[in-house]
Amino acid sequence: MKLGYTAKARRAALRHPLLSDIGTQITFWIFAFTLYFFLVNFVSKAITSLFDPDAIVHLSESIIIAIIGAIVFGTLLGLIDFYVERKFIRRSLGLEISVKIFFYIITWFIAINISSAVGFAIDAKIIDESIVSYKKEFFSNMGIASSTYTSVMIVVISFIKQMNNKFGPGIILPMFFGKYRKPRVEERIFMFMDLKDSTSYAEKLGHIKYSEMIQKCFLDVNKVLPSFNAEIYQYVGDEVVLTWEKEEGLNNQNCIKFFFAFQNRLLLNSGNYESNFGFVPEFKASSHVGTITVAEVGDIKREIAYHGDTINIAARIQTKCNDYNKNFLISETLKNNLNAKYGFAIDFVDDTILKGKAEKIKIYSVENKTV
Task: Say whether pLDDT at 368 is over 80.
Answer: yes
Task: Say whether pLDDT at 168 is over 60.
Answer: yes
| Mean pLDDT across 184-200 | 91
pLDDT digits (tens, 9 = 90+) for 205-226: 888 999 999 999 999 998 898 8
Angle at 50 between CA 47 and CA 55, to 5 degrees: 75
Q: Which amino acid is at 302?
A: R
Query: Domain with 197 in it: what CATH number?
Result: 3.30.70.1230
* pLDDT value of position 329: 95
- Buried-state track 81-94, b at ≥16 Cβ within 10 A, e below 16: bbebbeeebeeeee
In this structure, are 280 and 164 located in the same domain?
Answer: no
In this structure, are 188 and 304 located in the same domain?
Answer: yes
- What element of type H or E holds 341? none
* pLDDT value of position 8: 61
User: Mean pLDDT highest for which of 57-66, 223-232, 348-357?
Assistant: 223-232
How many independent structural domains does the chain possess?
Answer: 2
pLDDT digits (tens, 9 = 90+) for 236-282: 889 999 999 898 899 889 999 999 999 999 999 999 999 999 889 99
State the CB neighbour count (10 A cutoff) for residue 145.
14
In this structure, are 201 and 237 located in the same domain?
Answer: yes
* pLDDT value of position 1: 44
CA 198 to chain centre: 28
> Would you place residue 126 in the very low, low, confident or very high pLDDT band (cuts 50, 70, 90)?
very low
Comparing CA positions, the residue from 184, 294, 315, 172 lying closest to residue 242 is 315
> Would you place residue 88 in the very low, low, confident or very high pLDDT band (cuts 50, 70, 90)?
low
Q: Give the chain's mean pLDDT.
A: 80
Least confident span in 143-147, 175-179, 349-353: 175-179
Cβ-count burial of 198 within 10 angstroms (0-12 exposed, 13-18 middle, 19+ buried)? middle
State the CB neighbour count (10 A cutoff) for residue 296.
19
* pLDDT value of position 267: 93
In this structure, are 143 and 53 located in the same domain?
Answer: yes
In this structure, are 131 and 215 located in the same domain?
Answer: no
Q: CA–CA distance from 43 to each of 63, 108, 190, 275 (Å)?
A: 15, 24, 54, 65
In this structure, are 76 and 167 located in the same domain?
Answer: yes
Looking at per-residue confidence, does 46 or 119 come out higher?
46
* pLDDT value of position 327: 93
In this structure, are 123 and 187 located in the same domain?
Answer: no
In this structure, are 107 and 189 located in the same domain?
Answer: no
* pLDDT value of position 13: 61
Last residue of some domain: 172, 198, 224? 172
Least confident span in 88-102, 112-126, 232-246, 302-316: 112-126
Looking at per-residue confidence, does 171 or 320 come out higher?
320
pLDDT digits (tens, 9 = 90+) for 288-343: 999 999 888 877 777 788 999 999 999 999 999 988 999 999 999 999 998 766 67
Range of the domain at 335: 180-368
| Mean pLDDT across 132-161 | 71
